[in-house]
Amino acid sequence: MSTPLERVQPSDPRTTPVSPQLALRVAVLGGIAMVMFAIIFFRLWFLQVLSGEQYVQQANANDVRPLPIPAPRGQIFDRTGQPIVSSRTTNAVQIVPSALPPAGAPRLAVYRRLGALLGMRAGHIEELVIAGRNAVKYAPVTIKTDAGPGVLTVLAERQNEFPGVVQEPVSIRAYPFGEMAAQVLGYVGQVSKGELKKRAFQGVKQGTVVGQEGLEYYYDRYLRGRQGVRRVEVNAAGYPTPSSLKAIQPLAGHSLRVTLDLGLQREGERALLEGIERARAGGKPATAGAFTAIDPSNGEVLAMGSYPTFNPNKFAKPLTQAEYNALKGATSSSGEEAPAPLTNRAANGTYPTGSTFKPITAMGALEGGVINPGEALGAGQCIHVSTQQFCNSGHAEYGALDLVNALRVSSDTYFFETGELANSHGNVIQETARKLGIGEQTGIDLPSEITGIVPDRRWREHENQLQRECEHKQHSKPCGIVAEIRPWSVGDNMHLAVGQGDLITSPLQMAVAYSTLANAYMHNGYGTVVTPHLGMEIDEAKGGLVQSLSFPPVRHVHLNYSDLSLVMEGIHDAASQPGGTSFEVWSGWDQAQHPVYGKTGTAQHGTLNSGFTEDQSWYMCYVGDRSQIGQQRPIVIAVTVEKGGFGAETAAPIARLMASQWFGKPKRFVAGSSKTL
């Protein structure tokens, strides 16, 4: 009998043999894990044992924060060494956020008490604190830079009422003469984010006070100095804690000596204001004006002023937007733009010149062979070309005159006829104007100046093309680039000949042009187009010379001396002979010792679209000096008054007052006839 089948038992997986492939994989993974753990342990050992001390030092250093200590800016001196810009130390009112009472009513009470003391809103103070904490948590927040001794005394005596409020000595810019030469000197302010991208401010830290305009801007790299550093220990929350870390003291900026003559600058500004006030008393708007005085031999700017002006001390404190807008010039409800006090009209004024351009026209016509100086031209009250009339002011009749007498009486008809004749000779007037320095930047050491316009055929076509392109983009809407698209005409050249039309220049450029005529006249026709400049030398804060500043001439020119002598004779007669346009202004002047070569100008300022406004008053003069060799101090003076009337009425008397100051003569305001250009 057979036995029953035995039940088959499943095999035990623990006894299943491992394949060679699986064993290899396990070994590889195990090896990788061992290597990773070894790397981690080695790195931990390296950080803790080998580099531990180094990282402890770095961690300790993370508790120290740098705070900049502003450097005092260097002083600016006039040519004789008298300071005209300096820095002074005052106590700024600051808040240390970590020392304030808890947020809420206690903190708000401090803001209110401080606001009442400083004349500020509590909400504004809170905004300043929040902004300061967001910017640099560990730094005190400046609330007011120059609060005055009364405020600082109260804060010192009642410290318990102002927890967290401290006083910190700061150096601020000081302009002891207020508005004097404000546009030339400029002002300072904290560098903005946009300015940090400029080449002039490379490497400057945000919050640094830098020059914003004028000489303060142009020579900022010398005046700025080097910031110091105060190291502050902070806690884990980033707030400052008491410490005795040593500070690195700031290095004061270098000083700048400039060419300005303080006495002449003062007299120029006083005379300009007097001329404007007299013009207004006579019914003229006289809204603005400017002057420039330079040494024609080397281009040193002896005085430069612009009206209206401003007090740069105001920029020591933050300005409101309304205050800044007023300084930039606001537009009235009638659409007329008010003069901007920040604008330096001597370098950036854009003006036609009127008859002060006639000596340049005369030189161009003589050099180009357009006229014979002895030939009589300009007979009649008007010159007729096609359907246009070109007339003397007031339809005066001077008769036919030679060149010298035409300059003496400023005959428009003579120079209209000269412009008509010159038109067929190409750009002889334009080339001479550019040769003398008109229509190009002078290179003065200021942040900005105009280029100007000396119109000619090429310029006219360029403007026409811009007008066409603009009208195409604007679908034939007016663009105002030119009044009409038209070719250059003989009338354009005739207007240019008397300093009108599309001619645009500045008092500074005109001073350079007259200086070129003057120094060529002094040197037998060989002259230079000087580079007008204000800087003389850079000095150490303690007085040692760092660098003498030099400004080579733009170029050398040669003018026919016979032609030049006739032009100079004409404008000398205008100031010294009966019938001359400024003869009355210079009555009693010692022409033998200090001969005056002067030209009045009365320009129509405006456009065909906007309409011409009240005449603009101009005067240009070169005053020679026949003192002993080595003591001579010749001077070129340019004066203009917007809407000031005739040149002899307003601008010329201002120039005489400035010349009187320069040569030590008695000062008197002598107005010429309102009938003379």
Chain mean position to CA 492: 32
Q: How far are the Cα atoms of 26, 243, 427, 490, 523 from residue 493, in angstroms, in the given order? A: 100, 76, 9, 5, 31
Predicted pLDDT of residue 139 = 74
CB-based burial label for 72 (10 Å; 0-12, 13-18, 19+): buried
Which SS3 state, helix, strand or coil, does residue 401 take? Answer: strand
pTM of the model: 0.84
Instruction: Judge whether 569 and 328 are in contact, CB under 8 Å.
Output: no
Predicted pLDDT of residue 235 = 63
Instruction: Judge whether 676 and 647 are in contact, CB under 8 Å.
Output: yes
pLDDT < 70: residue spans in the chain: 1-18, 42-43, 45-62, 136-138, 232-244, 330-337, 605-613, 674-677
Q: Are strands 76-77 and 255-258 parallel, antiparallel or unpaired?
A: parallel
Which SS3 state, helix, strand or coil, does residue 122 take? Answer: helix
Instruction: Judge whether 596 and 575 are in contact, CB under 8 Å.
Output: yes
Predicted pLDDT of residue 169 = 80
List domains and CATH numbers for the chain.
66-258 (3.90.1310.10), 262-663 (3.40.710.10)
A 10 A CB-CB count for 333 gives 5
Q: Which residues contact 596 (CB under 8 A, 6 or more apart)?
A: 572, 575, 576, 582, 586, 589, 621, 622, 623, 624, 659
